[in-house]
Amino acid sequence: MLAINYESWHHMPDSNKNQAIDNIKRFALEVSDDYIKKALGKKWRNHKSTLEKLYFKKDISLKEKLRNVPPRMLRYQWEDADREQVGTSSRQKQKFTHTAGSRSFASVAKAEEVSFVQKVGCLQLFEITYRKKDRSPMTSEVGEIMEKLKEKKAEYEAIASTDSSVNLENIDNRIITEVLGPERYGHLRFQGSGVTLTQYFGSGSQQYMPSGSQAQAEVQRLRDQIAHMQVNTVEQIAEVQKNMKNSNNNLERRQREGGSGSSDGSRAEQKVR
């Protein structure tokens, strides 16, 4: 009736609350409905908190938590409650929040493009979605990040003035990555689910890679990676050959033992005759 797979007591349907009140009224208590609801809400929160401490906050995997259903609780309610807790924990780990609300970053960018009739890049979208209505940053940390993004942008603009290989139109994502860290493989920040670098920038566009020591370091990293893969491949081939040799030796031994057994049987049969 009052399941714990709701994020808060306020999300509990009124029909569930009213059903609980009707059950309590059978005892003819001289108390108001509001008092009963407040008492039920407190008991519900305490019960949910106790279950979280006993079952959810254990240092085990989510799969194990889902299997460990508390007594007198329906499995689907416990699974929903566990997943809701995972979502809550993830939100608490967010470094800062945006102002897009329920809208996706892609829809915000689309609206801005319609208003200003120009493509909205990652840096501009970050500015839009992480500022308050008074244009101030959401937090001091966001303000520091914005300053770093501006400084990095200025660095690339200075390089572009002397290096024709720098394409400032496609440099936003590299600046975001250098300041905020690498994103998931194939994912493009602030562009919604499923949008890749190729889809956004086009197959012919190239991200700027600084020349000199950084390029040499990247080449060396790739060489080391290839060498590591080659070593692993050689080791795997040697292991396969070793296993094949052992299998052949075992097979030959069994064949010899089988042949020896047959010969002994034949000699014994001849002696009996």
Judged by average pLDDT, the poorest of 8-17, 58-67, 202-211, 256-265 is 202-211
- Residue 231: pLDDT band (50, 70, 90) is low
133: three-class secondary structure by DSSP:
coil
Contact 130, 176 (CB under 8 A): no
Query: Does the structure show a pLDDT above 60 at 213?
Result: no
Q: What is the mean pLDDT of residues 30-52?
A: 80
- Residue 92: pLDDT band (50, 70, 90) is low
pTM of the model: 0.37
At 34, list the tokens: 């509001």
Q: How far apart are CA 55 and CA 70, in angstroms?
A: 8
Q: How far apart are CA 164 and CA 255, in angstroms?
A: 73
Higher-confidence position of 203 and 65: 65
- CB count, 10 Å around CB of 251? 10
Predicted local confidence at residue 75, as pLDDT: 67
The residues, any chain, with a CB within 8 Å of residue 193's CB and separated by 6 or more, are: 104
Q: How far apart are CA 129 and CA 109, in angstroms?
A: 9
Cα end-to-end span (Å), the chain: 88
Q: How far apart are CA 52 and CA 81, in angstroms?
A: 9
Query: Exposed (0-12), middle (13-18) or buried (19+): which is 248, by Cβ within 10 Å?
Result: exposed
Q: How far apart are CA 182 and CA 212, in angstroms?
A: 22
Residue at token pair 């990293």 = 221
- CB count, 10 Å around CB of 219? 10
Q: What is the mean pLDDT of residues 161-189?
A: 70
Predicted local confidence at residue 163, as pLDDT: 74
Residue at token pair 């047959």 = 262
Average pLDDT, the chain: 71
Q: How far apart are CA 84 and CA 86, in angstroms?
A: 5
